[in-house]
């Protein structure tokens, strides 16, 4: 099994009835004259069959054997083919120039998630960039007006599931372009590179504003493969007698929202509803009320008796409910209520599918542009201060520029996200090309250290063209296309949750003399620190 | 100048006589209706014309302006096109799979030139690999039998001219292949991707053994665009009376060698000859004798009177000298004498060309395979010990395997280098696929720490196929193709000699609190150390 042999002989047809049309070589066999063992295989740690269950730790430790599996071969070969088609589209059909940008760079403002690399100059470090953002803008200033790169990017987020410390994005930037130009380029790119064994991509993709996505789906990356949209039913309850609804409506941004789960009564068990309500209480500090719609006049709900007939009929009309549906209702501040119901919507979809309902067709790829994001968000730790919603180079929406100097928190941006089946697979924006505006946003609005970006600010002053771009997350995209359970299944040698290479045992210790040229030494944690950190990040739990 | 304007109007023909056929838009002009300044350009640090001289430091500091130059635009666009053609050839025509391998890896044995990246685990470091060598071999074990990648590689060599801390190679590996298979693949690759504005590449490329390259050109990367080959004239002088020639021949490996510089008497000045002799004395501790061949009987040389007529005639015959040629003669140990004359050969070629002789046609691309390298070299610091001539995974030459256990220093390898115009642009080998042989070479011959490579040794034991590959240095190749004076001219954002990004000022200082998560601190050198190191690596001499 799995040894390598060299065979010579005569190609003959398989005996009638023994052909295998599923194999490329299924019609022939070889009548062997000589056979030679080129390399033998010792006892395998697991059988190389996709249906044989093995832990991910074992797969990663023997990745070179795991790669022999049919699914991993398919995933990596499909990825290669898709990228090749993308290159043809960009390079051969649209005149883009493939340009490599450095990965030994310097830290960017707020770059706390950037790996550092000590240099041979004492105290001086390179940083591994999170994206080629600055370089691609500088290329536009440099007159390379259509840039792309399949770019390796780095982000040190510690241990997080389904994130990799190094990842790859299709990185694109164009001069003299507007939002719609980038969007149609990307639609064409995906259509052109889409695997031929999948249903073709339909363009143009639908578009939705950030505000609409939040209101209807409770998230900026809506899964539009199924309904169950969030509906605002505040108006139905202006005169309600139910205390917590009254309360909610009386507060600023107070709303009442609901989603309708089709045939919920059939599929959701009592304990499901209970766990839904508990989730809402624990994570959102919100009350959720289930309403079982037996018939229009027969409400089975804790609030049934307070719902007047016209409210009931309104509810049915707004939510388009049918018999046996279940309505989940919550009340509270707009954003919070939407976020909660957005989460519950996905939770319920999982529950329904676990019980056999086909809600999300696995052959369906539902693309969506989300646009008109806010330019800034209040900082979580200090809501008085603003931070860039995406990055500080994003251009404000032309209609909102006047607000920048008065109510910056209200300014929308020219940022756009590309969402596929509820996952963000890309994002980009039209950039600021005006040095003065860029300086104002960095220094006055965001209060960043402008010195770290002086080269970029200076570059904008030398006749920078208007420009914009986008980056598509290649790992995530390939993962969705292949239907792989994790991005680790579309990467040849991924790191584990803890950022380890379980095969080669990276990261590894380094002798102090090899650190000397870099003028660094290890600060070994004290015993108490070690204990604390090993509680948070247990060592090697995967192996 | 260099501002960005938006103009609308009517396209009209240029007035007769004002057409410019060299411009794509040279036949038309626009009759302007409206014009709008999109972005103005402030005073430029240098005029953006290729003929305007500027220091490289200034160019690198304002790289985004330098990139607007005609030559940089040509270089980067040509590079992109060549890489795209290479991808088409490998991926679409030859079934290769483009696979990304990690750059956050662990140190390799003897990896003193690898950058280190602290992780969040105290004392554990990733290393940036010098090449994907291990991964590409593991991919062969994993059944991805035709791999390629345009791979970013890292090497920390401190300050060295024309080296970059990060560079790119076309990285290729195949299963079930022999040396000739890789060679013809690469010949086809270069032929296919060669720019259409250059003379087509002629295949197959000539091949030369390492021993022959050393004997005839004094180097393992011969520039075969011109002659002036090294000739062994030992036999002519077996009975010589010249003391230092007698001495040389009486020693083991003792030889007398010469090169002939065509029309040297016309182009080389007395002080050239003097500086050549001084170079030989200073760098090789060798004597070099010039012989001016007036006519066959009239030698103008310090040794003229000792050269007998038959020796003179033999010299003329062996070196194919003509009147006015100059012969440079040296005596000593074979390798040393060849190396010296190899250097002088290139030196003299430069001198002749500086004086107007066309020795190396700039339109000529002279490819050459150099093969049959030794598998091991004696270590410089301790010649009793051996080190891998290339890397420890290189397979021994099949005819020499028996010597491995008795006289390993005599074993030739299955390594091959690709040389273009005297520069090494690629190298590869058939690899060891036998775990036992690999272990023997690592542990017994090379005395390496086998633990660091246990995953690779183990992988070979699971039915690894025979395999081999190559890597082509993309920066160097593009540099030669475009005729750029430095690899920095084919890289969008290169580092300076000292490894600095002069535009953004990388590497840069990092606040101690950002080093804390990585459990490292800076070891600031003491004053005396600083002084010493600043003598060796002067700070920022470029800026």
The distance of B182 to chain A (nearest Cα, Å) reads 20
CB A322 within 8 A of CB A262: yes
Name the residue facing B465 among A38, A515, A521 (closest C-beta).
A38
Distance of alpha carbon A325 from alpha carbon B409, whole angstroms:
82
Please state, in angstroms and as integers, the Cα–Cα distance from residue B370 to each residue in A76, B121, B183, B342, B424, following that order.
34, 45, 11, 16, 10
Please state, in angstroms and as integers, the Cα–Cα distance from residue A154 to each residue in A55, A115, A166, following that order.
27, 7, 4
CB B119 within 8 A of CB B111: no
Helix, strand, coil share (%) of chain A residues, nearest 5 = 35, 25, 40
Are B463 and A521 within 8 A, CB to CB?
Answer: no
CA angle A39, A40, A44 (to 5 degrees): 135
Distance of alpha carbon B461 from alpha carbon B449, whole angstroms:
19
Are A67 and B144 within 8 A, CB to CB?
Answer: yes
Residue A501's closest chain B neighbor by CA?
B105
Helix, strand, coil share (%) of chain B residues, nearest 5 = 35, 25, 40
Residue B90's closest chain A neighbor by CA?
A84
What is the rounded end-to-end Cα distance, in angstroms, of chain B?
Answer: 26
Are B97 and A80 within 8 A, CB to CB?
Answer: yes
Chain A and chain B share a number of CB contacts under 8 A equal to 317
B-chain CB neighbours of A125 within 8 Å are: 507-510
CB A346 within 8 A of CB A263: no
A-chain CB neighbours of B106 within 8 Å are: 501, 504-508
Burial label for B41, CB within 10 Å (0-12, 13-18, 19+), is: middle
Residues 6+ apart with CB under 8 A from A260: A228, A231, A319, A320, A321, A325, A326, A327
Name the residue facing B519 among A81, A104, A525 (closest C-beta).
A525
What is the 3-class SS of B110-136, one letter each residue? CCCCCCEEECCCCCEEEECCCCCHHHH
Q: Of B202, B204, B217, B173, which Cα lies nearest the Cα of B466? A: B173
- Say which DSSP state A229 is in: -
- Both tokens assigned to B53: 């001289």
B-chain CB neighbours of A126 within 8 Å are: 115, 506-507
CB B433 within 8 A of CB A40: no
Secondary structure E strands in A254-366: 254-261, 288-295, 298-300, 326-333
3-state secondary structure of A328: strand
A-chain CB neighbours of B121 within 8 Å are: 507, 537, 539
A-chain CB neighbours of B505 within 8 Å are: 106, 455
Are A466 and B4 within 8 A, CB to CB?
Answer: yes
Q: Which residues of chain B have pLDDT under 70?
A: 110-112, 159, 294-306, 528-543
Distance of alpha carbon A176 from alpha carbon B255, whole angstroms:
68
Residues 6+ apart with CB under 8 A from A95: A146
Per-residue pLDDT reduced to its tens digit, A306-330: 677 777 788 888 888 888 899 999 9
Name the residue facing B465 among A39, A135, A509 (closest C-beta).
A39
Please state, in angstroms and as integers, the Cα–Cα distance from residue B205 to each residue in A29, B183, B305, B475, following that order.
38, 9, 45, 21
Backbone angles phi, psi at B340, to 5 degrees: -60, -50
Per-residue pLDDT reduced to its tens digit, A410-422: 999 999 999 999 9
Secondary structure E strands in B155-304: 166-175, 207-209, 231-232, 254-261, 288-295, 298-300
3-state secondary structure of A46: coil
- Both tokens assigned to B191: 């032929």
Are A463 and B41 within 8 A, CB to CB?
Answer: yes
- Report the residue of B69, B95, B118 to disrupt the A interface, i.e. the one with the largest count of A CBs within 10 Å: B118
Distance of alpha carbon A239 from alpha carbon A246, whole angstroms:
8
Are B521 and A519 within 8 A, CB to CB?
Answer: no
**Rg (Cα) of chain A, in Å, rounded?**
28
- Report the residue of B123, B134, B489, B531 to disrupt the A interface, i.e. the one with the largest count of A CBs within 10 Å: B123
The distance of B275 to chain A (nearest Cα, Å) reads 36
The distance of B170 to chain A (nearest Cα, Å) reads 13
Are A507 and B102 within 8 A, CB to CB?
Answer: no
Locus of tokens 């440079």:
B328
- Return left, alpha or beta for B158; rule: phi > 0 is left, psi -120 to 50 is alpha, else beta: left
B-chain CB neighbours of A432 within 8 Å are: none
Are B125 and A84 within 8 A, CB to CB?
Answer: no
A-chain CB neighbours of B434 within 8 Å are: 39
Distance of alpha carbon A398 from alpha carbon A413, whole angstroms:
8
Please state, in angstroms and as integers, the Cα–Cα distance from residue B343 to each residue in A485, B218, B347, B348, following that order.
59, 7, 6, 9
Distance of alpha carbon B80 from alpha carbon B89, whole angstroms:
14
Q: Of B229, B218, B259, B183, which Cα lies nearest the Cα of B415? A: B183
- Both tokens assigned to B38: 């999109």
Name the residue facing A87 among B87, B144, B522 (closest C-beta).
B87
Please state, in angstroms and as integers, the Cα–Cα distance from residue A228 to each residue in A174, A294, A423, B484, following that order.
38, 18, 17, 61
Distance of alpha carbon A47 from alpha carbon A53, whole angstroms:
9
Q: How many helices (H) and strands (E) does chain A have?
A: 16, 21
The distance of A438 to chain B (nearest Cα, Å) reads 13
Name the residue facing A116 among B118, B465, B530 (closest C-beta).
B118
The distance of A84 to chain B (nearest Cα, Å) reads 8
B-chain CB neighbours of A461 within 8 Å are: 41-42
CA angle A12, A15, A19 (to 5 degrees): 90
Are B492 and A455 within 8 A, CB to CB?
Answer: no
Angle of helix A210-217 versus helix A334-354 axis, rounded to 10: 60
B-chain CB neighbours of A493 within 8 Å are: 101-102, 135, 138
- Both tokens assigned to A60: 């990663």
B-chain CB neighbours of A465 within 8 Å are: 4, 38-39
Distance of alpha carbon A118 from alpha carbon B518, whole angstroms:
12
- Both tokens assigned to A155: 């982000």
Distance of alpha carbon B232 from alpha carbon B337, whole angstroms:
10
- Both tokens assigned to B86: 């290479």
**What's the confidence (pLDDT) of residue B302?**
65
Angle of helix A179-193 versus helix A70-87 axis, rounded to 10: 130
Per run of 10 residues, the mean pLDDT along chain A (length 543 residues) is 96 94 93 96 93 93 97 98 98 98 89 88 96 97 98 88 92 98 98 96 98 98 96 89 87 94 91 94 91 65 68 84 90 96 96 93 95 95 92 96 95 98 97 97 93 94 98 98 95 95 94 92 80 46 37
CB A463 within 8 A of CB B4: yes
- Both tokens assigned to B360: 């190396």
Residues 6+ apart with CB under 8 A from A165: A115, A154, A155, A156, A157, A495, A499, B104
The total of other beta-carbon atoms located within 10 Å of residue A351's CB is 20
- Report the residue of B41, B58, B64, B449 to disrupt the A interface, i.e. the one with the largest count of A CBs within 10 Å: B64
- Both tokens assigned to B391: 């890397």
- Report the residue of A92, A118, A540 to disrupt the B interface, i.e. the one with the largest count of B CBs within 10 Å: A118
Name the residue facing A104 among B80, B97, B166 (closest C-beta).
B166
pTM (two decimals): 0.94
Residues 6+ apart with CB under 8 A from B370: B207, B208, B209, B210, B213, B220, B221, B222, B416, B417, B418, B419
- Both tokens assigned to B311: 């020796």
The distance of A316 to chain B (nearest Cα, Å) reads 53
Distance of alpha carbon A295 from alpha carbon A258, whole angstroms:
18
Distance of alpha carbon B441 from alpha carbon B450, whole angstroms:
10
Mean of pLDDT over chain A: 92
Please state, in angstroms and as integers, the Cα–Cα distance from residue A104 to each residue in A459, B66, B171, B451, following that order.
20, 20, 21, 30
A-chain CB neighbours of B501 within 8 Å are: 102, 104-106
Are B506 and A168 within 8 A, CB to CB?
Answer: no
Residue B504's closest chain A neighbor by CA?
A455
Are A455 and B2 within 8 A, CB to CB?
Answer: no
Residue A149's closest chain B neighbor by CA?
B80
Are B143 and A73 within 8 A, CB to CB?
Answer: yes
Residue B539's closest chain A neighbor by CA?
A121
Residue B89's closest chain A neighbor by CA?
A84
- Say which DSSP state A525 is in: P
Burial label for B176, CB within 10 Å (0-12, 13-18, 19+), is: middle
Name the residue facing B142 among A67, A122, A520 (closest C-beta).
A67
ipTM, 2 dp: 0.93
**What's the confidence (pLDDT) of residue A237?**
87
Name the residue facing B462 among A2, A463, A523 (closest C-beta).
A2
- Both tokens assigned to B321: 């000298």
Q: Of B414, B409, B353, B335, which Cα lies nearest the Cα of B376? A: B409
- Both tokens assigned to A279: 């989730």
**What's the confidence (pLDDT) of residue B534?**
47
The total of other beta-carbon atoms located within 10 Å of residue A393's CB is 21
Residue B434's closest chain A neighbor by CA?
A39
The distance of B107 to chain A (nearest Cα, Å) reads 8
3-state secondary structure of B331: strand
């Amino acid at each position: 099994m799995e040894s390598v042999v060299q065979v010579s002989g005569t190609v003959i047809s398989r005996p009638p009835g023994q052909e295998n049309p599923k194999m490329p070589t299924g019609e022939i066999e070889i009548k062997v004259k000589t056979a030679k063992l080129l390399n033998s295989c010792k006892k395998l740690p697991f059988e190389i069959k996709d249906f044989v269950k093995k832990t991910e730790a074992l797969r990663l430790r023997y990745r070179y054997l795991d790669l022999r599996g049919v699914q991993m071969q398919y995933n990596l070969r499909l990825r290669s083919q898709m990228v090749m088609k993308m290159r043809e589209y960009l390079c051969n059909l649209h005149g883009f120039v493939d340009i490599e940008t450095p990965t030994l760079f310097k830290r960017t403002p707020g770059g706390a998630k950037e790996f550092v690399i000590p240099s041979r100059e004492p105290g001086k470090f390179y940083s591994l960039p999170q994206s080629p953002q600055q370089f691609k803008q500088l290329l536009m200033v440099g007159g390379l007006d259509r840039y792309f790169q399949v770019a390796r990017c780095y982000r040190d987020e510690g241990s997080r599931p389904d994130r990799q410390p190094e990842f790859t994005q299709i990185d694109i930037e164009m001069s003299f372009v507007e939002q719609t130009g980038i969007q149609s380029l990307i639609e064409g790119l995906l259509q052109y590179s889409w695997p031929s064994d999948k249903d073709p991509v339909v363009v143009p993709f639908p578009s939705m504003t950030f505000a609409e996505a939040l209101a209807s789906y409770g998230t900026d990356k809506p899964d539009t493969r199924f309904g169950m949209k969030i509906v605002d039913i505040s108006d139905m309850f202006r005169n309600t007698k139910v205390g917590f609804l009254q309360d909610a409506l009386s507060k600023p941004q107070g709303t009442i929202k609901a989603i309708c789960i089709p045939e919920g009564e059939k599929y959701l068990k009592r304990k499901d509803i209970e766990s839904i309500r508990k989730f809402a209480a624990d994570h959102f500090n919100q009350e959720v009320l289930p309403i079982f719609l037996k018939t229009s006049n027969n409400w089975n709900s804790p609030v049934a008796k307070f719902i007047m007939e016209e409210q009931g009929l309104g509810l049915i009309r707004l939510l388009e409910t049918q018999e046996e549906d279940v309505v989940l209702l919550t009340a509270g501040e707009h954003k919070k209520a939407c976020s909660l119901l957005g989460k519950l919507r996905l939770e319920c979809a999982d529950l329904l599918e676990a019980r056999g309902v086909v809600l999300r067709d696995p052959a369906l790829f539902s693309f969506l542009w989300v646009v008109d994001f806010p330019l800034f968000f209040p900082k979580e730790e200090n809501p008085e201060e603003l931070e860039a919603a995406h990055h500080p180079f994003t251009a404000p929406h032309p209609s909102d520029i006047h607000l920048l100097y008065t109510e910056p928190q209200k300014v929308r941006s020219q940022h756009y996200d590309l969402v596929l089946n509820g996952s963000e697979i890309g994002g980009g924006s039209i950039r600021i090309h005006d040095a003065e505006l860029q300086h104002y946003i960095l220094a006055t609005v965001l209060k960043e250290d402008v010195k770290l970006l002086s080269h970029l600010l200076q570059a904008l002053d030398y006749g920078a063209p208007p420009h914009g771009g986008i980056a598509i997350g290649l790992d995530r995209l390939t993962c969705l296309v292949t239907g792989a359970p994790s991005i680790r299944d579309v990467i040849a040698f991924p790191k584990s949750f803890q950022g380890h290479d379980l095969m080669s045992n990276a990261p590894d210790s380094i002798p102090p003399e090899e650190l000397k040229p870099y003028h660094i030494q290890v600060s070994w944690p004290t015993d108490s620190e070690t204990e604390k950190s090993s509680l948070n990040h247990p060592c090697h739990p995967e192996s």
